[in-house]
Amino acid sequence: MPAKEQLIQSVWTRPRRVRREQPALSRDQIVAEAIRLLDAEGIEALSMRRLGARLNAGATSLYSHVASKDELIELVVDEVYGEMVVPDAEEEGWRSAAASSAQSLRAAILRHPWLVSVLGRAGFSSLGPNMMRNTDRMLAIFEAGGCDLDEADHAMKALLAYVVGMGTSEAAWLTALNRSGKSPQEWAEDLWPTVEQAAQPYPRLHAWCVSRRTGDPMGGGSTDIFAYGLDRLLNGLEA
């Protein structure tokens, strides 16, 4: 009788192979090296061949642990989500725990700017153990705030959408900055004349640009902007 076809193509739905011997290369080593490669060179540099070369292993060795690049992306996404710290709402209070969770995820995104570019390609990453654990803990946060389970799910998704949305623009800026080889101040000062010229036809944007000429050329610290939006989002949920 033929083996049952795997209906959902995901690393989390494929049975992990049982090995009789201890392999020279483990899946954890593959994931850790993939993250180092992504952090150093970005998503464009990730390939099974390139990763194998960094591990001094052939592609066959990698494929015996990870069936495809898509599966590898699911694994690295879940690994990074494991860096997120979700506090206990009973100890910290629901609002403080929600804010801490959002800030922790943002910090992970800024450490790994490539993350936001692969979220849409991460397949069933929500089935990963780190994602499942943090999702369950975040649902508990909003339940502690008075939500039933359905509303807790909506509140959690609204919060995550805000963090990922803000993180996308911040990650894009970090990627551009890294590629430029310049400091944030040098990069901003080089770009600012172009921004100011482009804003000439728009009075409010131009006035804002002029006001920033003698201040922060990036228009305010991104951490302050993130905190501003997060505070208002939590105000809305609290109301």
- Tens of pLDDT, residue by residue over 30-62, are 999 999 999 999 888 999 889 998 998 877 778
Model confidence at 218, pLDDT cuts 50, 70, 90, reads very low
Residue 146 pLDDT more than 50?
Answer: yes
Q: pTM to 2 decimals?
A: 0.81
CA distances from 17 to 13, 23, 26, 65 (A): 12, 12, 12, 8
Contact 116, 167 (CB under 8 A): yes
For residues 171 and 213, the model is more confident at 171
How far is residue 234's CA from residue 177's CA, in Å, rounded to a whole number? 31
For residues 117 and 14, the model is more confident at 117
Residue 10 pLDDT more than 70?
Answer: yes
Q: Where exactly does CATH 1.10.10.60 map onto the chain?
A: 27-80
From the list 202, 223, 214, the residue with the least C-alpha distance to 102 is: 223
Give every CB contact of residue 185 below 8 A, 6+ residues apart in sequence.
Answer: 217
Give every CB contact of residue 19 below 8 A, 6+ residues apart in sequence.
Answer: none
Q: Tokens representing 2?
A: 């033929």
Over residues 182-206, the mean pLDDT reads 83
pLDDT recorded at residue 57: 84
Contact 145, 238 (CB under 8 A): yes
- Second CATH level (architecture) for the domain 27-80: Orthogonal Bundle (1.10)
- pLDDT, one tens digit per residue, over 80-112 is 999 999 999 988 899 999 999 999 999 999 999
